[in-house]
A and B are shown apart, each in its own frame.
Chain A
Amino acid sequence: MTDACEFTPPADACALPGAAVAAANDIDPAHAGRTWQGPGAGARLGILRRATSIAIVGASNNPARASYFVGTYLLSSSPYDVYFVNPRADEILGQKAYASLADLPVVPDIVDVFRKHDDLPGVAREAVEVGAKALWLQLGSWNEEAAAIAEEAGLSVVMDRCVKIEHARFHGGLHLAGFDTGVISSKRQVVSR
């Protein structure tokens, strides 16, 4: 994390490492029309920067599933300790799979959720109980009840965003694939690994 302050948008990335809630005016324009406002790019980068571990809840062993993509990406292209949670699997991507968040050997910083809509408030409660710092609902997942549970307990919340895409946005992967990262900076960039 030596380069943590070196690229745009730094926003709050280097300030208040414990800040759980995004600055009120750093909101996600992709969700502008919704009642719940998600964190903007700077705040999302801050959540990723402060984390060292990610638990993927609803991880899958099926290579065609989005959770498998995210797991492969995080293991190969990020510095995070990655934990898989799926009570019906023993092993995912060569790693032990855990039955629940409470079974993990660590308190995960980010709980990244791939579960059906109605399960999300329950996962949010579990994330609060284990003391996670952020609840992250994947692309296509939007549950304001789950968000309220997590925010009330002081967790940062991201919904309808992909951890892989957001990490890749700030660490070169998305750029190499021709996508607009929004990063404008005259500082040397951090390569993913």
Chain B
Amino acid sequence: MSEHKFGFRTRALHAGGTPDATTGARAVPIYQSTSFIFDDAKDAANLFALQKYGNIYSRIGNPTVAAFEERIASLEGGIGAVATASGMSAEYITFSALVGSGDHIVASSQLYGGTVTLLDVTLRRMGIETTFVPSDAPEDFRKAIRPNTKVVYAEVISNPGGEVSDLEGLSKVAHDAGVPLVVDSTLASPYLLRPIEHGADIVIHSATKFIGGHGTTLGGVVVEAGTFDWGNGNFPTMTEPVKSYGNIRWWDNFGEYGFLTKLRSEQLRDIGPSLSAQSAFTLLQGVETLPQRMDGHVANARVVAEWLASDPRISYVTWAGLDGHPHFERAQKYFPLGPGSVFAFGARPSGEFATDEERLVAARATGEKLIESLQLASHLANVGDARTLVLHPATTTHQQLSPEQLTAAGVPADLIRISVGLEDPEDIIWDLDQALVAATGESR
């Protein structure tokens, strides 16, 4: 009798969620308890020294959170996972486990703004330097590698430009340098892409987005492949004795389980951004329908992107599933089911403009009017909700920038980010059409 391999949909419902050993509860129970009793003093000592597995304190681990962690690890094809309070804290604990003062990170420049400021401001202030590579060519990442580089970092689909990373190329660059490829796969979700299959070593999600899927709950998760050689000499914190745990060594004692054991036992212990049991429960509800929702998101994204691309009032659409997108071929390879449902488009301002400056001012005003005229799509700063969401960076997150600065930041004045939801696609299109009429004065 061979081992049966369970499929993605089955694992989205079952992985990590076997019936409760004590009560037989079928749904994963919410273990709303900060702490868990020890059997006796020896049991406590063994747990604290990591000599045995078990629950101690919910900052380090919690049974409801563990169900979520195992489920995501299973879906990503990783060895395990550590859940966190948000996507940003998932990134922070990962970087804090991998780099210290004097170390260097090579990152794509096409990143979510919060990640850019984490790397460029917060970590830089702590003595960690990041080189941002303004290119999608792995060879340009290779040129940025230094002897003290510890991480190569990218998003699998950039937000909001819709660029698709060359994971296999980046993986080779990272591994040639003896460092892990760390990717944020938030916009893909494990249903559309499993980066570990393409050479990534660590996968990070803001579970707040598609994994939770309903805009109710903040959460993050770090998944590790379990195949990186942490004993290669580049990561002394993985191979040197750890005083606070009786001089164990993460790599020597735990092998392939070492990195995540360290992440939980050191970074969650010291930094503390743990996921709550209540939040893990709502995220688990989301995961159970992830395949069905992502199929719906991608189908709607295709309809909306094609409609926008065929509209004369629209200047560009950045969905990589359109054959005019510069990464169309790459998206076909990495995203056979479709490259998600978050992308951007621009609305052409009406009229003739004597200068670029005038045109940019008008584009900004058109974008603002468009956003304000939408009735169904929600104007807010999130993506991956079951509902359609929109954001106009030039008048919100980037409103302090001049038109020239906007261009330099890669955020055109007219750029609207859309996260296509699960409504009837004709309603999403009806809404966009009426808002475009209001913003441009032109009918399709």
Contact = CB atoms under 8 A, between A and B. Distances in A.
Interface of A: 7-9, 11-12, 15, 23, 25-26, 40-42, 63-66, 68-69, 72-73, 76-77, 139-140, 162, 165, 168, 172-192
Interface stretch (B12-20, B289-297, B345-353, B436-444): B12-20
A77 B66 CA distance: 18
Contacts of B55: 176
Contacts of A11: 1-3
Interface of B: 1-4, 6, 10-11, 14-16, 18-22, 24, 26, 42-43, 46, 49-55, 61, 63, 65-67, 69-70, 73-74, 78-83, 241, 246-249, 252-253, 255, 257, 260-261, 264
B44 to A, nearest CB: 11
Contact of A176 (B61, B73, B260): B61
Given A64-B247, A178-B81, A69 B51 contact: yes
A76 B15 contact: no
Contact of A66 (B53, B63, B253): B253
Contacts, number: 143
Contacts of B51: 63, 68-69, 72-73, 76
Contacts of B81: 178, 180
A176 B63 contact: yes
A26 B70 contact: no
Given A64-B247, A185-B18, A177 B61 contact: yes
Nearest to A193: B39
Contacts of B53: 73, 77, 168, 172-174, 176-177, 192
A177 B249 contact: no
Contacts of A189: 18-19, 21
Contact of A72 (B21, B52, B78): B52
B249 A26 contact: no
Nearest to B15: A184
B1 A180 contact: no
Contacts of B24: 188
B46 A23 contact: no
Contact of A184 (B6, B26, B46, B80): B6
B80 A180 contact: yes
Given A176-B53, A178-B83, A188-B21, 15 more contacts: A9-B4, A12-B1, A26-B2, A42-B3, A63-B49, A64-B249, A65-B253, A66-B252, A68-B51, A76-B43, A178-B61, A178-B81, A178-B264, A184-B11, A188-B18
B71 to A, nearest CB: 9
Contacts of A65: 253
Contacts of B42: 76
13 contacts: A11-B2, A26-B1, A42-B1, A63-B247, A69-B50, A69-B253, A77-B53, A177-B257, A177-B264, A178-B73, A181-B70, A182-B74, A186-B26
B141 to A, nearest CB: 28
A72 B46 contact: yes
A182 B77 CA distance: 10
Nearest to A42: B3
Central interface residue in B52, B53, B248, B252, by most chain A CB within 10 Å = B53
Contacts of B253: 64-66, 69
A124 to B, nearest CB: 22
Contact of A23 (B1, B11, B15): B1
Given A63-B49, A64-B241, A180 B73 contact: yes
A26 B78 contact: no
A77 B4 CA distance: 28
Nearest to B24: A188
Contacts of A177: 53, 61, 66, 80, 257, 260-261, 264
A103 B255 CA distance: 32
A113 to B, nearest CB: 16
B101 to A, nearest CB: 27
Nearest to A72: B51
A176 B54 contact: yes
Contacts of A40: 2-3
Contacts of B46: 72, 76
Contacts of A176: 53-55, 61, 63, 66
A97 B4 CA distance: 41
A77 B10 CA distance: 30
Contacts of B18: 7, 183-189
User: When A and B form their complex, which 5 residue pairs have the shortest distance between CB atoms, in order from nearest?
Assistant: A173-B53, A179-B80, A178-B69, A72-B51, A180-B73
A16 B69 CA distance: 35
A162 B241 CA distance: 20
A70 B329 CA distance: 49
Nearest to A162: B255
Contacts of A77: 52-54
A178 B79 CA distance: 9
A178 B21 contact: no
Given A177-B264, A184-B11, A23 B2 contact: yes
